[in-house]
Amino acid sequence: MQLLDDLLWMGGGYVLKFSDRTFAEFFREELELDIDDPLWSVQGGSKGKRMRCFLQTAPRSQVAQALNTLWDYRIAAMERDGVKESISDVHTKMAALMQSIGSTWKHGKPSSSSKFSAAVAVPSEIISGLISRFTALMAMTDVQRRGYAFETFLRDLFNTYGMEARDPFRIRGEQIDGSFQLEGSTYLLEAKWQNECADAAALRAFHGKVEEKAAWGRGLMISYSGFTENGLFAFGRGKKIVCMDGRDIYEALQHAIPLDRVIAEKARQAASNGTIFRRVSDLIDTLLR
């Protein structure tokens, strides 16, 4: 428990960076469990005491699932705040702990030589097929038919790189909504295939949706035709969303750059300099390293 206290920053009744609301959302969305149930408050009502009760009394399989998932949120919080690892040989200790409860630590020690996690190896014929399908979309004139084809294409594209949506992508008019997981963050997706570039109003509306969700949430907005320069300028910097356009998708596929790597680098660019839209062509040297 001392190791887990340190791992989850449980001093003073807190758990990581969770608020009361996001703490409840984590358990509800990740474990389908109501952590506000009095069952978990027998040691006290603070987040830390409810977490300790959960860790000590919940089924071991559920505890293992929670710890493996919480690690992702911990890493995301450390990256956002620039916090260095304070637990020596943390992966060895967590692997031993998980083995003691009959489970497996899924994270292992990251390689210092790789900037990204290991990307999914995708056969060239699958990438070629995705390029052909994306090119075919450009020739479609029927808006409804193209919308459903774009929805299917995006779902297959995200699944190819291991980012399967929690809920299937849903089409509404010319807009597709969905969500996916990447590097410990839940991303909301909004994708539009339309002739007009997305403007500041569209960006603000999507950002508002992301802000309504959990504190660890982010957003990816895909606008096939791109974004207006005035819109990007008016929207501002340092927000919780990143952007892609049709050219980004095509160039990533042409260079066989994994989609998860593209989005992760865009998120890093946004975190470091506040720029929410950097083209793949501008990042190509970094992405191909």
| HEC assignment per residue over the chain | CHHHHHHCCCHHHCCCCCCHHHHHHHHHHHHCCCCCCHHHCCCCCCHHHHHHHHHHHCCHHHHHHHHHHHHHHHHHHHHHHCCCCCCCCHHHHHHHHHHHCCCCCCCCCCCCCCCCCCCCCCCHHHHHHHHHHHHHHHCCCCHHHHHHHHHHHHHHHHHHCCCCCCCCCEEECCEEEEEEEECCEEEEEEEECCCCCECHHHHHHHHHHHHHCCCCCEEEEEECCCECHHHHHHHCCCCCEEEEEHHHHHHHHHCCCCHHHHHHHHHHHHHHHCCCCCCHHHHHHHHCC
Q: Summarize pLDDT for 247-265 with one digit per residue, the tens.
A: 999 999 999 999 989 998 9
Task: Give the pTM.
Answer: 0.60
Tell me the domain boundaries of the chain.
2-100, 124-287
CB atoms within 10 A of CB 22: 19
The band of 119, judged by pLDDT with boundaries at 50, 70 and 90, is: very low
Calpha distance 279→271 (Å, rounded) = 16
- Would you say domain 124-287 falls under CATH 2.60.40? no
First-last CA distance in the chain: 40
Mean pLDDT within 28-36: 91
What would the pLDDT profile of 198-245 be if each residue is shown by its tens digit?
999 999 989 888 877 655 578 999 999 999 999 898 887 757 899 999
